Amino acid sequence: MAENTKRNLELIILLGLLAAIGPLSIDTYLPSMPAIANEFGVPSSVVQQSVSAYFVGLAAGQIISGPFSDRFGRRPVLFIGLGLYLIATLISVLAPTIGILIIGRLVQGLGASATPAAGRAVIRDIWSGDRAARAMSFVMMVMAFAPLIAPILGGQIFTYFGWRAIFWLMVGFGAFLVMLVQFRLPETNGPERRAGVSIGDYFRAYRYLLASGRTWGYLLAGGLSFATMFAYITGSAFVYIDYFGVEPEYFGFFFALNVISLTLCNWLNSRFVAQFGYLNLLGVGIAVSVSGTLTLLFCSLTNTGGILAVVITLFIAVGPVGMTSANAIAGLLNLYPQNAGAASALFGVAQFGFGALAGILTGVFYTGTPVAMALAMTVMAGSGLTAWLWLNARYGHVHSTDI
């Protein structure tokens, strides 16, 4: 029993590190965005497109990586994805123009897409129901250390070595993950689980999954609420650094406050999900997030409270995003144990597709104040709550552990 617990803990840490490639590739880069805009001589909205491009890559790549991990196994897909990620990161390091940087970020997202698609499927290979939601919460708690230290580390690297050195850090982390997959990650989707099924069958699974109203409920509720965080990620550097005058090397400390909130909410979710069920806690998380975004929008429109109001309301709005994601993906994967990769991929498409939209809205609305970020966050969180209300009204009579 002790050996099994130790192995599960090791697996959760490993999956958390794989999931951390996303925030590491985004959050280390945030403090340098205003400086990148100055170096290339482009508006801030153009640099924000490099964030949206990464999200588009993450979304699009999972359409392929999910079914491929179902058909050929989790490990091969991870190796290919991480290899592509390393190549794209090198392109970003050497980018002579903002256009090349945006292309590099797009391809980087395509490569990184293998880690959430295959990683979430590994969880469903081993656990199910509320136990999967609990495991997902623990994985996200491990992952939360990346956004906790990434912007602080990125700010320091940028201050002393410039923004391109941040991408060299990504190269090193990607190589480290390749070694972890090679030596510590077992294949949880072995040949016996894949026998007699063609790759076409797995792609056709998308049509089967999307024919279900429950699928759409979890995709919209989880994806839209998760996109709330991406509106924050896209706009926060310009709000703190350009609007409030925070030095880039200190930006990470403000960012870390919201990571603490994310970690706290994930811990609470792991503590109570078995008692209340993931469908109920999904709704609670989205409702809390909406309350935070509405208050942030009010403070931004009325210039109330200054930077302190922004910090407090972001703490409330961003924190529940981790628990909503964990509960939504657990609910979705529990519906389709034989198509966990495809279901995981669809959820990734929803997360990062809506995330890219949130980033674009933040850039389009941007006027040099926090209003654009607050408005985009409110639109995403409010839409997520609407989707959950429909899901709960339609299917709430079915207990989450029985779905």
Of 262, 225, 213, whose CA–CA distance to 391 is shortest? 213
Which pLDDT score is estimated for 401? 43
Which pLDDT score is estimated for 2? 55
Any domain includes 202: no
Asked if 240 and 246 touch (Cβ cutoff 8 Å), the reply is yes
Of 238, 221, 217, whose CA–CA distance to 359 is shortest? 238
Any domain includes 235: yes
Which pLDDT score is estimated for 340? 75
Of 72, 96, 109, whose CA–CA distance to 359 is shortest? 109
Torsion of CA 148, 152, 154, 159, to 10 degrees: 180
Reading the block at residue 152, the tokens are: 């602080």
* Residues in the chain, pLDDT under 70: 1-5, 129-130, 140-144, 147-148, 195-197, 397-403
Which pLDDT score is estimated for 236? 87
DSSP assigned state of 303: T
- Taking the C-alpha atoms of residue 4 and residue 7, their distance in angstroms, rounded to an integer, is 5
Any domain includes 256: yes
Residue tagged 């279901």 (tokens): 343
Which pLDDT score is estimated for 251? 86
Residues 6+ apart with CB under 8 A from 124: 132, 333, 334, 337, 340, 343, 344
What's the Cα-to-Cα distance from 400 to each of 73, 168, 280, rounded to whole Å? Answer: 28, 44, 8
Crossing angle of the two packed helices 145-161 and 129-143, in degrees rounded to 10:
20
Give the end-to-end CA distance of the chain in Å, rounded to a whole number.
29
Split into its structural domains, the chain has a count of 1
Domain that holds residue 383: 2-183+208-395
Reading the block at residue 71, the tokens are: 């058909």
Q: Please give the helix or strand (H or E) that residue 30 lies within, else none.
A: none
Residues 6+ apart with CB under 8 A from 245: none
- Taking the C-alpha atoms of residue 76 and residue 395, their distance in angstroms, rounded to an integer, is 37
* CATH number where 144 lies: 1.20.1250.20
Any domain includes 191: no
Asked if 363 and 355 touch (Cβ cutoff 8 Å), the reply is no
Rg of the Cα atoms in the chain: 20
Which pLDDT score is estimated for 97? 94
Residue tagged 């981790």 (tokens): 322
Residue 397's Cβ-count burial label (10 Å; 0-12, 13-18, 19+) is exposed
Any domain includes 263: yes
Asked if 388 and 282 touch (Cβ cutoff 8 Å), the reply is yes
Helix, strand, coil percentages (3-state) for the chain, rounded to 5, are 85, 0, 15
Residue 267's Cβ-count burial label (10 Å; 0-12, 13-18, 19+) is middle
Which pLDDT score is estimated for 108? 96
Any domain includes 188: no
Any domain includes 192: no
Q: Amino acid letter at 246?
A: V
Summarised one tens digit per residue, pLDDT across range 325-360 is: 889 988 998 888 777 777 877 888 898 889 888 988
Which pLDDT score is estimated for 77? 93
Any domain includes 190: no
pTM given for the model? 0.75
Q: Per DSSP, which regions of 305-401 are E strands?
A: none
- Taking the C-alpha atoms of residue 351 and residue 236, their distance in angstroms, rounded to an integer, is 19
Residue 38 neighbours by CB distance under 10 Å: 11
- Taking the C-alpha atoms of residue 88 and residue 113, their distance in angstroms, rounded to an integer, is 13
